[in-house]
Structure 1
Amino acid sequence: MIYLALSPIPPGLLYHLSRNLYVSLTNTAIGLPLITSRGPNFKMPESSEFTYLTDNSTPTSSEIISSVNMLWESDEFEKTSLTFAGAGDPLLQLPTLLETVKGLKETNPDKNISFRVNTNGLFSNPTSICSQLKSNEINSISVALNYDNENDYNKHMLPPPPLNFETVCEFIRTFVDEEFKVTITCVDNGLCKVEKVREFAKEMGVNEFKVRSYSP
């Protein structure tokens, strides 16, 4: 397959934190969007060049591959890692995500690229998702949890029924059992009990835990 270079890159498709590139696959989230969970005054750093995807568009794998490779031609960005994140949940566009990974590997055979996915983990088919990611050599995932109990999680993370607190817990356990590098993130918003979430993550077998700031 031939990937044509795009110039300029479609708005909202890529952004960066330091030298690390991030891909936005959708503006749509399940439950409370990760960006919204950071508080009403939270903004991505201006230097990141983050914007929402135009008109709620969903980019194609060809667009992403061409855009990433174009930026990787410079020395400005880290060329060995890529994170699927953005305003929405990238796992809602899983086929595009997998096609992108495959295409980037094909067009960069000399690079040992590591891929990570940021998600709310509100999916009822974690075994299938895990299997598909694993078969494409994606082994790192970050899951936003924020609360250590069903009442608080369901109240504040707004999972649409029948998805709930147990859904995300089962998602996390599935990826831990499959020996993924699992990171749990928690926003210190004054409502959650950060240390209890940390301990709950450890009970599920997660060793990497990150606390996110809140902007009231």
Structure 2
Amino acid sequence: MVASTCAARGVVYWLGSQLYVQLTNRARGLSLVASRGPAFQMPASSGFAPLEAEPTVDAVVAAVLDAYANDERKKALGQDVGRTRRADGGATDPGVAFAGLGDPLLRWPDVAEITRRVREHHEVPISLYTNGLLPPDAPSAAEVASTLHEAGVTAATIALNAADPDSYARRMLSPPPYTPAYHEDGPSAIGDVSGASFGGACEFISALSEAGVETTVTAVATADTASVRDLGTALGAVAFKERTFLE
């Protein structure tokens, strides 16, 4: 397999033919990795690693375009890689996802800019994995969601993990009682949560749905997953996914 050599350590990683992009190690609310439990590890084959430094927009765009040009995990999809839909409507290419150890929403303007530039070359699905907690200096949830959708973000997955404010504060805004993989300690796994709230996460889910972004809500199995699923549906999410928790 010919692998991309353009990106610095941690900027891109893979799960199958899905290319993931990391923009930051900084968390805002319990990171997706940390939420999966103390024993959770990314597959060694993914090439996942914490970032050594936050990449520039130019570096990320170059890494994605290099993957499409040189990595067999994208090239093997066929010469018609730009055709993103099969006859049954499914995606030929799962595209590019913003995810990782930190929360890409902390760099949401860069998510939008990278998406615009990548889609100038490859009209593939672009997805976002986040807690939905905007940084303190961000504009309204509606403005951010509209900007992402207009740039070409097609789907978002929001880790909600609770269906009420108290549970959310305990699960998502408090350090976990263990040191998760890839994090220095429990506090680093939640990052700066000043101003973050259950209501803010719910507002962002609704804003994404209203903007036209296909939105999925997730919860780890230790949560009240039925209630989270019902809440996500009420907020406009089109799907729900339960994630395993590894002790």
Calculate the TM-score normalised by the size of structure 1: 0.88
Secondary structure of the equivalent of 1:177? Answer: helix
From the superposition, tell whether residues 139 and 8 of structure 1 become closer, same or farther in structure 2 (CA, over 3 Å).
closer
Regions of 4+ moved over 4 Å? none
Q: Does 1:100 align with 2:114?
A: yes
Secondary structure of the equivalent of 1:152? Answer: helix
What is the aligned counterpart of 2:207 among 156, 160, 174? 174
Structure 2 counterparts to residues 122-137 of structure 1, below 5 A: 122-123=133-134, 125-137=140-152
CA-to-partner distance for each residue in 1:61-116, whole Å, 9 max, x for gaps? 1111211222212332365410000111111112322222222223x2xx321111
Please tell me the root mean square deviation across aligned C-alpha atoms, in Å.
Answer: 1.8
Q: Does 1:117 align with 2:128?
A: yes
Structure 2 counterparts to residues 41-60 of structure 1, below 5 A: 41-54=39-52, 57-60=53-56
Unaligned runs of at least 5 residues, structure 1:
1-5
162-171 or 18-27, which deviates more: 162-171
Partner in structure 2 of residue 29 of structure 1: 27
Tell me the amino acid that sits aligned with residue 166 of structure 1: G
* C-alpha deviation, 1:187, in angstroms: 0.9
What is the aligned counterpart of 2:68 among 61, 72, 84? 72
CA distance in 1, matches of 2:202, 2:208: 10
Q: Give % identity.
A: 31
* C-alpha deviation, 1:7, in angstroms: 4.1
CA distance in 1, matches of 2:27, 2:194: 14
Partner in structure 2 of residue 63 of structure 1: 59
Secondary structure of the equivalent of 1:112? Answer: coil
Calculate the TM-score normalised by the size of structure 2: 0.77
* C-alpha deviation, 1:16, in angstroms: 0.6
Partner in structure 1 of residue 90 of structure 2: none
Secondary structure of the equivalent of 1:170? Answer: helix
* C-alpha deviation, 1:135, in angstroms: 1.8
CA distance in 2, matches of 1:62, 1:75: 22
Secondary structure of the equivalent of 1:32? Answer: coil
Q: Does 1:40 align with 2:54?
A: no
* C-alpha deviation, 1:182, in angstroms: 0.4
Partner in structure 2 of residue 156 of structure 1: 171
Structure 2 counterparts to residues 182-201 of structure 1, below 5 A: 182-189=215-222, 192-201=223-232
Partner in structure 2 of residue 3 of structure 1: none
92-101 or 137-146, which deviates more: 92-101
